[in-house]
Amino acid sequence: MLNRKDLLGLEDLTKEEIVTILDTASSFKEVLERPIRKVPALRGKTVVNLFFEPSTRTRISFEMAEKRLSADTISFSQTGSSVSKGETLKDTAKNIEAMEIDAIVIRHSESGAPHFLARNLDSVVINAGDGSHEHPTQGLLDLLTVREKKGNLAGLKMVIIGDIAHSRVARSDIWGFTKLGADVSICGPSTMIPAEVEKFGVRVHTRIEEALEGVDVVNVLRIQLERQGQPLFPSVREYAKLFGIDGEKLKRAKSDCIVMHPGPINRGVEIDNEVADGAHSVILGQVTNGVAVRMAVLYLLVGKSAPFLPLEEGEKDH
Amino acid sequence: MNMAQDEILIRGGRIIDPASGVDMVGDVLVSGGTIWKVGKKINHSRSAKVYDAGGLVVSPGFVDMHAHLREPGREDEETIESGAKAALKGGFTSIVAMPNTDPPIDSEGMVRLVIEKGEGAGAARVFPMAAITKGLKGESISEMAHLREAGAVAFTDDGNPVSNAGTMRRALEYASMLECPVVSHCEETSLTKGGAMNEGAVSTALGLKGIPSVAEEIIVARDILLSGFTGGRLHIAHMSTKESVDLIRRAKKMGTKVTAEATPHHIALTDELLRSYDTNFKMNPPLRKEDDRMALIEGLRDGTIDCIATDHAPHTEIEKDVAFDDAPFGVTGLETALGVLITFLVEAGHLTLEQMVEKLSLSPSKILGLSSGTLRPGAQADITVFDPHLEWTVSPDDFLSKSRNSPFCGMKLAGHAVLVLVSGRALYESSKERMAPRGNQPA
Ligand SMILES: [Zn+2]
């Protein structure tokens, strides 16, 4: 079990907690390979999915995980920028509190929004991605994927490529992979490397050739073409040429390296088709693992003492 | 206590008056609103009220040259009256109201309004600072001479920088006729847009957009050059970075007419505290790193930073109780300044009590051309008596300010004002039941 109320990020989880989540996720994967892919662990519990920022993939993955654990779920999406986002969040929190639910899964464009909810609510808060801060379940599913393919993570060489400064996936991966003993480096245009990131225990590269040399794991981040404000690189064409992963560049990595991407992919920009669909790619496996990891997190935070068993045949319609 | 205006004898305190180099245990006799006599032992008339200041420090009243009082426009956050009362409780006998109100203080009528409301408050004196530019728009300079005449003590667009260097040049040139400083809020906004906290390892970890230190330093450097070029007096508000301190140090060596202030929160706190996403730590300039904090302390010690100002910036709880990016910048400071400075500067061994008193009274008085800041006989009797050892816990419920947004909530501090005189009248005395002195040993 996890000795905490909320899952807000991987930065404050211990190595042991991370391993517990991954082990639980692995067990769920086994359960889900049985004919009835549903367990009663969260029966009678209510989970609210609050998505203030569009993300079909993550929302569906959470909903799937909740349903497979037999939870009652409500999903709420509010996109588009309202002038008083903060007030909306506070009001929403108060309303939810009044409805006596068990857990909230929140996705928000502002870093720290889940922390704000967690401070104000008794229910479990699970961060499904906050601003440029963290996306802990993505980090966990990345860890699970690599562990499945490579076994032990200690000593593995991993590189994360792209807009590190604005990526919550990069931050969660950095915390998670370094905690489990992997050797993590990051690579991107120098405008996309955040201040003092070396202090997190990662090496920084701005030349992709150096960054890929002998690595076991390549994690390619999505380039946000729609990002507002000052452009962080001169053109997509130049980015693709310098940092886009193709078969040629990938030759510098280990021959059995795996390539990950949190999706959705800009094909031909940060990664080309040949690599995205090629033998090294584990991108679809990440999606499957996303459901298992989210089940594990929900189970460990919300289910607590509930049984882990699959439903009996006759129960499947609940 | 209900002391009359005539005679008060403050007896047996440690008298610290940097203006006259006095640091001794003795008596201060106040009569007719002015300081009558300072000495080892003063004989007094039978009618004088006697205040036993044994174990306490008797200093010139503190002067805060940077407070946002929010009136007119945001009386729900603070009023001139509530701000002046909070100031008094914090040991300040004079405060300067910043002009970024709604409407801003950019006309003679507004200057007079602030003065009148200040007088009506019956607490700390309130001096208005007026806008550098009309409507705080950063375009054309305000009627500085008229504003000065009406009682403005200096000029600032604080809250915003004067982005246009040409406008700043004219402001410094024009103000040089008026013998008062132009106070600069140093921020190159093209570098700070969207920023929420100091740029560095902590902002990277939190995924919050950073405000780089160079955004402050660029304007500090620009304004120093403009001050040297025009001969205008420049005062740098709330400096927060190491390089800013170095720039001022060099400018002073070169004889530029520049002065500077630092705030208690930048002196005491760093960006590490933001890890909780607590909006009470959100301010502009943001809390910086330990290196910067130590550079500010060194700057205070060697005289590079002339004075300490609170940048008291009240906001309602509703405004601050939101996700970090949505919260307004600013923290209150009038009621915590003294405790913070004694705890983090004096008890920490960085500054002597005398140096601290100078930064809080004499220096800001000099910068603004006020007659306060001294206990010399004949001076107006603005006096702060404080207990440097009194321990207290910051509890926003006890604030006289209308707002609660203090970064020091729950913190244990040493040092609090116990008696404050403005023009010889005891306008504040702490109730002994609530704050018992820790001991009566001399400071
Ligand atoms: Zn300012």
* Contact between chains at B204 and A131 (C-beta distance less than 8 A): no
pLDDT averaged over every residue in chain B: 94
Which runs of consecutive H residues, i.e. helices, occur in B264-357? 264-268, 290-301, 317-320, 337-341, 353-357
Give CA–CA dist B247/B260, Å, rounded. 11
The gap from C-alpha B331 to its chain's centroid, in whole angstroms, comes to 13
Sign of torsion, CA B321 B316 B237 B133? positive
Taking CA–CA distances from B207, the nearest residue in chain A reads A133
Question: What is the tens place of the pLDDT at every residue in B228-266?
Answer: 999 999 999 999 999 999 999 999 999 999 999 999 999
Residues of chain A found within 8 Å of residue B209, distances taken between Cβ atoms? 132
| Predicted TM-score (pTM) of this structure | 0.92
CB B105 within 8 A of CB B97: yes
Burial of A50 (0-12, 13-18, 19+ CB in 10 A): buried
Structure confidence at residue B33 (pLDDT): 95
Percentage of residues in chain B with pLDDT exceeding 70? Answer: 96
Question: What is the tens place of the pLDDT at every residue in A58-114?
Answer: 999 999 999 999 999 998 887 655 544 555 787 887 788 788 899 999 999 999 999
The answer to whether residue B443 scores a pLDDT higher than 50 is no
Question: What is the tens place of the pLDDT at every residue in B66-82?
Answer: 999 999 999 999 999 99
Helix (H) or strand (E) holding B414: strand B412-422
The answer to whether residue B442 scores a pLDDT higher than 90 is no
Residues of chain A found within 8 Å of residue B277, distances taken between Cβ atoms? 111-112, 115-116
Active-site annotation of B, residues: 311
Cβ–Cβ contacts within 10 Å for residue B143, how many? 15
What distance in angstroms lies between residue B160's CA and the mean position of ligand 1's atoms? 7
The answer to whether residue B337 scores a pLDDT higher than 70 is yes
Q: Is the preceding omega at residue B388 within 30 degrees of 0, hence cis?
A: no
Give CA–CA dist A124/A101, Å, rounded. 9
CB B390 within 8 A of CB B415: yes
Question: What is the tens place of the pLDDT at every residue in A263-295?
Answer: 999 999 999 999 999 999 999 999 999 999 999
Tell me how far apart the terminal alpha carbons of chain B are, to the nearest angstrom. Answer: 25
What distance in angstroms lies between residue B193's CA and the mean position of ligand 1's atoms? 15
Instruction: Classify the phi-psi angles of B373: left when phi > 0, otherwise alpha if psi is within -120 to 50, otherwise beta.
Output: left
Q: Which two tokens stand for residue A142?
A: 């990345």
The answer to whether residue A228 scores a pLDDT higher than 50 is yes
Taking CA–CA distances from A91, the nearest residue in chain B reads B322
Taking CA–CA distances from B190, the nearest residue in chain A reads A230
Confidence of residue A306 (pLDDT cuts 50, 70, 90): low
Averaged pLDDT, B133-144: 97
Q: Radius of gyration of chain B from Cα atoms?
A: 21
Give the ipTM of the model, two decimals please: 0.90
At A173 the three-state DSSP class reads helix
CA-wise closest residue to A299 among A84, A73, A42: A42
* Contact between chains at B327 and A86 (C-beta distance less than 8 A): yes
Q: A with B: how many residue pairs have Cβ under 8 Å apart?
A: 76
Structure confidence at residue B3 (pLDDT): 44
Question: What is the tens place of the pLDDT at every residue in B197-216?
Answer: 999 999 999 999 999 999 99
Site from A110, A121, A198, A224 to mutate, B interface, most B CB atoms within 10 angstroms: A110
* Contact between chains at A132 and B208 (C-beta distance less than 8 A): yes
Question: What is the tens place of the pLDDT at every residue in A143-175?
Answer: 999 999 999 999 999 999 999 999 999 999 999
Question: What is the tens place of the pLDDT at every residue in A20-45?
Answer: 999 999 999 988 788 877 889 999 99
What is the b/e burial string over A189-199, where b = at least 16 CB atoms within 10 angstroms of the residue's CB?
beebbbbbbee
Structure confidence at residue A308 (pLDDT): 61
A112, A194, A197 member nearest B323 (Cβ): A112
